[in-house]
Amino acid sequence: MSGCAGDRSPSAARMPSSPPAPSVTEGAPLREPAQMVSHNGVLRVELVVARRKVDVGGRRLWALTYNGHYMPPTLRIRPGDKLDLSMKNTLNEFTNLHVHGLHVSPSGNSDNIFLHIHPGQTFHYAYRFPKNLSPGTYWYHSHAHTMSAPQVAGGMSGVLIVDGLRQYLPAGLRHITERVIALKDFQADGDAVRTKGLHIGKPTHRTVNGQLNPAIRIRPGETQLWRLANISANIYYNLRLKGQRFHVIAHDANPVDRIWTADSLLLAAGARFDVLVQGGPTGRTQLQTLAYDTGPAGNKFPQATLATLVSKGPSAHPAPLPASPFAPTDDLSHAAIAARRTLVFSENKAGTKFFINGKQFDPNRVDVRTRLNTVEEWTVRNDSNEEHSFHVHVDDFQLMSINGRPHHGHGLQDTASVPPKGKLVLRISFTTYTGKTVLHCHILNHEDEGMMAVLEIVK
């Protein structure tokens, strides 16, 4: 079990910091989630939302599930595909579905987060994805306002993959082993996953694909593609693979213009990285989340072991990594700017109410109206003493600067962490789709308590 403390979350006073929890014994081999794959340009899916007693981190616990699993199926599509998805709600509360990060219509029965699927109802979603949809790792989850945090924390999140990333790899790397590394945490409440009275700062169990410290197999010298996805409700992950480096090929499902390497990767709430990992000498290496502090009014996440990389078997000759440039990317640094806006994230002193530009979320009010086929520059300012995870639907953005320092992210993204008392400057291009959608903090406790705004894209 790992712990995280220091939260000022709704209905709770700030809690004292807790010491790092002991490491978890190495578990069973990593299990890949079941896959549902499109055929002939169509993926048909039935998702049943139910509260069931299932395996969660090696325990039998009541959880909120998709198709009876805490780690639900990975949905796998290609650019230009159609996704026909029927969702049946057997809970005693409403829900809905958001396909996080995807460039798709926000209207009608597509990625419409204003919908309510009430208890006992079945709703049919129909998504039509563009042929230029960016390949990489996305995810799907509940976006039921005021209940998104408890529903996602209860288990309602899964991975969605858009194929096509391998086309940018050299021939020798196009058939490498692929791993889904889905990061989900849960707090136990007796024989159930906690969904009520969630406190980000309470001790939590961090899982990979629903497992505690699974063993990930690799051969010495072998190169693997890992899809790192933070599909938790609230917490951050600061990933490190001891003694090795991550070679980033995509960020938030946007292939990079050139591969960059890092000793550690910060995954704010909602973020993803696709990375290449190469096996070291025979032995064991820990995949850890390092200690991370989101600010004086935020959370102190202690270090914890997430998985164990086991290097064994016949050695492979280490493949050369792709050379630069890697993939074509959109560069908005010289784009004509149609409008400049400032979005201010703030909260009350108790840390129980959250605001964007001094207002709490109202689905009937349009807060930002933009025009299709234009580029805007937004300054996202954080007036609070804790980090917030900024996320916008439908269109990705280019992060230009952090606290006034130029930032070169090597591509677009859909999520970015705003430092305490700091600011981001980003540029966003509105293409293809019109309609109402949202921008918000992806720390879902904060979103549920008001830190979300309506964005309308018009012709």
Model pLDDT for residues 253-263, shown as the tens digit of each residue: 999 999 999 99
Same domain, 53 and 126: yes
Same domain, 158 and 178: no
DSSP 132: T
Q: Has residue 446 been placed in a domain?
A: yes
Same domain, 301 and 388: no
Residue position matching structure tokens 């051969």: 219
Residue 362's domain is classified under what CATH number? 2.60.40.420
**C-alpha torsion 207→212→217→222, nearest 10:** 30
Q: Has residue 30 been placed in a domain?
A: no
Q: Express each pLDDT in 404-421 by its tens digit.
A: 999 998 999 999 999 999
Same domain, 174 and 289: yes
Average pLDDT, the chain: 94
Same domain, 104 and 220: no
Q: Has residue 75 been placed in a domain?
A: yes
Contact 79, 131 (CB under 8 A): yes
Same domain, 60 and 130: yes
Same domain, 303 and 185: yes
Q: Has residue 239 been placed in a domain?
A: yes
Q: How confident is the model at residue 23 (pLDDT cuts 50, 70, 90)?
A: low
Q: Has residue 39 been placed in a domain?
A: yes
- Residues 6+ away with beta carbon under 8 Å from 279: 218, 219, 220, 221, 222, 223, 224, 309, 311, 316
Provide the residue range defining the domain that includes 248. Answer: 168-311
* Domain end residue (candidates: 296, 311, 326): 311
Q: Has residue 223 been placed in a domain?
A: yes
Same domain, 198 and 285: yes
Q: Express each pLDDT in 174-222 by its tens digit.
A: 999 999 999 999 999 999 999 998 999 889 999 999 999 999 999 999 9
pLDDT, mean of residues 299-318? 95
* Domain end residue (candidates: 311, 326, 348): 311
Compute φ and ψ for 425, nearest 5 degrees: -120, 130
Same domain, 222 and 307: yes
Q: Express each pLDDT in 142-170 by its tens digit.
A: 999 999 999 999 999 999 999 999 999 99
CA distances from 430 to 256, 393, 394, 435 (A): 20, 11, 8, 11
In the predicted structure, residue 237 carries a pLDDT above the cut 80: yes
Q: Has residue 318 been placed in a domain?
A: no
Same domain, 62 and 129: yes
- Domain count within the chain: 3
Same domain, 42 and 161: yes
Same domain, 79 and 151: yes
